[in-house]
Structure 1
Amino acid sequence: MIPATIAGPVKQVALVVRDLDASVRVWTEQLGVGPWTAYELGPGVLQDMTYLGEPAEFSIRHALAWTDTVQFELVQPLGGPSIWADHLAEHGEGLHHLGVYVDDHAAAVEKVLAAGYRPLQSARGFGATGDGAFAYFATDHPLAAVLELIEAPSVRREPAFVYPPPTTEKSTE
């Protein structure tokens, strides 16, 4: 059970994909989800990266889109050891984790560790000013899903792309 002191509503549903560009097009065209804002994260941006409790360097491309109060995330692993690459190898594309936004990331991490959750992967520094953090935990009981604790950055970096691209309409007046 997620400790009640960090249990906010699940705000993010995330899937692992092999091809981010193709996936955002399909989600937009077939489900009407979008616009998608995509980022590339890895060494040079992320700090204090870990994988299964050990220091590790990894990189991903990911895209975010909101539908009402739920954020969808599509994650394409690029390199290094990661739980996203593990998921693709073991299960293929599909549902990967549920995300909860927290105000105090360090305190939330301490609480889920104290509750017996196993750390899987983490990093910080994805915001434009070096803030923002994420950490993933195994939830073997009873959720049967990976849980991500997310501390949003105060300002996002410039995206790698937005899909569909914003249109610039010219006035005919």
Structure 2
Amino acid sequence: MNPPIFTKPLQICVVVDDIDGYMKTYTDDYGIGPWAIFEFNPDTITDMTIRGEKVDYAMTLAVCDFYGIQWELIQPRDDHNLYTEFLKEHGPGLHHVAFAADNHNKVVKWMAERGNRSLQGGNLQGNVYTYLDTVKDLGFITEIYNTPKNFVHPGPDRTYPPQDDKATAFSWDKNAF
């Protein structure tokens, strides 16, 4: 048995077609929340790629902590990303699971050698994220990060439920995106 290449589960992501409706259901019906909501696009994310090609895309994402695992909802805002492809093929549902990895670049290289190519990525103020095609091996896409030690997570654009003090609405796990 090989040692694990991932060191900790960090996040479960569901791609949705109505982020506000899903946040309301998760919060009001299931008690999952509160949510920190971010608008990511070429103004906030650099080095965006899809299957190795530079492609700009936009999304709204919402995150919350649920018993030590980050829960993420993503709604695409254009047709130039994996999320829109996923919605067209599957409808809303589980898209990826994010894991911590000791060495981002080593994992990306190892995955490529296995035929598990990089599907999508970008850079949020120095925090690089990469989606890896692990569907044939694991049944889902895997996301990993290369987060610098001095990285400061941005504050949310809004929250759900709405809160006057957005800074206290959500606290980032130091290992999570």
Q: TM-score range by the shorter chain?
A: 0.7 to 0.9
CA distance 1:104–1:167, change in 2 (3 Å): same
| Per-residue deviation, residues 59-88 of structure 1 (Å, max 9, x unmatched) | 100001111121110000002411100001
% identical equivalent positions: 30
Partner of 1:171 in structure 2?
Answer: none
3-state SS in 1 of match to 2:139: coil
* Match of residue 25 from structure 2: 26
| Offset, 1:137 | 1.2
Look up the SS of the partner of 1:142 in the other structure.
Answer: helix
Amino acid at match of 1:134: Y
Question: Are residue 45 (structure 1) and residue 44 (structure 2) matched?
Answer: yes
- 8 Å CA contact retained: 2:37, 2:60: yes
Contact 1:102/1:149 (CA < 8 Å) preserved in 2?
yes
Deviation of 1:6 (Å): 3.1
Candidates 148, 151, 166, aligned match of 2:163: 166
State how many pairs are aligned. 163
Amino acid at match of 1:135: T
- Residue matched to 2:8: 9
- CA deviations over 1:67-113 (Å, ceiling 9, x no partner): 11211100000024111000011111111111113354333322322
Q: 1:15-164 residue pairs with structure 2 within 5 A? A: 15-102=14-101, 104-124=103-123, 126=124, 130-152=125-147, 154-164=151-161
If the length of structure 2 is used for normalisation, what is the TM-score? 0.83
Q: Structure 1 or 2: larger helix share?
A: 2
- Secondary structure of 1:10's match? strand
Q: TM-score, normalised by structure 1?
A: 0.85
Cα distance in 2 for residues equivalent to 1:30 and 1:152: 34
Mapped contact 1:103–1:151 kept (Cα < 8 A): no
Q: For 1:33, what is the secondary structure of its paired residue?
A: coil
CA distance in 1, matches of 2:100, 2:43: 24
- Pairwise CA RMSD of aligned residues? 2.1
Pick closer, same or farther for the CA change 1:166–1:103 going to 2, 3 Å: farther
For the structure 1 residues 59 and 5, does the alpha-carbon distance in structure 2 shift closer, same or farther, using more than 3 Å as the test? same
Question: Quick check: 156-165 or 23-32, which moved more?
Answer: 156-165
Gaps of 5+ in 1: 169-173
Say which SS state the counterpart of residue 136 (structure 2) adopts: coil
Structure 1 residue 19: Cα displacement: 1.3
Query: Whose radius of gyration is greater, 1 or 2?
Result: 1
- Please list every run of 5 or more consecutive structure 2 residues that lacks an aligned counterpart in the other structure: 166-177
